[in-house]
Amino acid sequence: MSNIKSLADQLKSRLEEQKGLSGRTFPAELDEEKTDANDRKAKKPAVDTKGLRSFLSWRILIWMGRRKS
Amino acid sequence: MLKFTLMVILIGNQKGGAGKSTLCLLLAYYLSMLKKKKVTVLDMDYQASISGKFEKAKILENDPIYEVIPSDLKYFPALLELLNQNREEFVLIDLPGKMDDDLLIPIIGSAELIICPFNYDEFSVDSTVLFSLVCREINTLSPVVYVPNRIRATVKYETREEVDKVLSRFGGISPGISDRIDFQRVGTIHIPASLIPFFMPALEFIYSNFMRKG
């Protein structure tokens, strides 16, 4: 095998290792930043349910009030 | 006072179809026609597309505006020796899209600038990072500049920012070149004028930041 090919293969496997088991496209140095971005995404719900919950709780209270009366 | 000597510029990427040959033609045209520099292109790509166009153009069109030498990798030291006798010249080398031959080592080692066109897709980015790592092992001194190529206005490149961040650890990133069908008509003499606004920002960036002016 040629030296440059074996160098490229070594660097490729090192790069694959750095990417980790997640199979990401980018070297490991970016993993942390990507994780942060994912965390931020996880903390923020995809759909804002606050308004929906509030609406439903009011509907339930009204419904319960009507049942009692 | 130091005299301007030969400047060897590589255009390479391990990924085939990244736009190496087209970028080489554009740069050769830009340097010779617009900057009035002496240019020689060494076509070392196995596909030899530049020398094919050059030979065809010599038959059909006017005198060539720069020299194109098709060459096997093994003749590089002799060619460099020969070209070194000329002063004030840019030697552009269109590299093959493979890193499988030790004859590439002296070529990468002798480069003063490495230009790497790439596309924002997963395979191209992987190959570009790998190409950069190999080049950095062989040639620690010369700058690398990345040229985002085939940029489509209708596509939202979600990874673009991250890719740019990764590549900026190896070198500079030029303005991108749009994906235009007219780039297929780029030759060794004629370049469609309509393309000039699309490739000029990238080449101006490279010229002003990375090339010796003499």
Among the CATH numbers 2.60.40.1120, 3.90.380.10, 2.60.40.10, 3.40.50.300, which is that of B7-210? 3.40.50.300
Q: What is the mean pLDDT of residues A22-51?
A: 51
Interface touch A4/B162, C-beta < 8 Å: no
Indicate the helix (H) or strand (E) that contains B38. strand B38-43
Residues of A in contact with B165 (CB under 8 A): 30
Rounded Cα distance, A7 and A13, in Å: 10
User: Where along chain B do its domains lie?
Assistant: 7-210
Q: Which residues of B touch A8 (CB under 8 A)?
A: 14, 99-100, 130, 134
Domain boundaries, chain A: 3-68
Q: Would you say B118 and B147 are in contact if contact means Cβ atoms under 8 Å apart?
A: yes
A69 in reach of chain B (CB within 8 A): no
- Do A2 and B126 lie within an 8 Å CB cutoff? no
Give tens-digit pLDDT for B174-208.
999 999 999 999 998 889 999 999 999 999 999 99
| Cβ pair A2:B100 closer than 8 A | yes
The ipTM (two decimal places) reads: 0.78
Say what the pLDDT of residue A48 is. Answer: 53
Those residues whose C-beta lies under 8 Å from the C-beta of residue B198, and which sit 6 or more positions away, are B177, B178, B180
pTM of the predicted structure, to 2 decimals: 0.80
Assign B162 a pLDDT band (cuts: 50, 70, 90).
confident
pLDDT in tens, B54-101: 988 888 767 889 999 999 999 999 999 999 887 789 999 999 998 889
pLDDT, position A41: 47
Q: Does residue A34 sit at the B interface (CB-CB below 8 Å)?
A: yes
DSSP state of B69: E
Cβ contacts (< 8 Å) between A5 and chain B: which residues?
99-101
Query: According to the model, what pLDDT value does residue B141 have?
Result: 92
CA–CA distances in Å: residue B39 to residues A11, A65, B169: 34, 88, 30
Name which residue leads in pLDDT, B188 or B212. B188
> Given CB atoms, is A2 within the 8 Å cutoff of chain B?
yes
Closest partner CB to B130 (pick from A2, A8, A30): A8
Residue type, B68: V
Is residue A23 pLDDT above 70, yes or no? Answer: no
**What strand order describes the sheet that includes B113-118?**
B67-70, B38-43, B89-94, B7-11, B113-118, B144-148, B172-173
Q: Is A8 on the interface with B (CB under 8 A)?
A: yes
Give the sign of the dihedral formed by CA B133, CA B173, CA B41, CA B2: negative
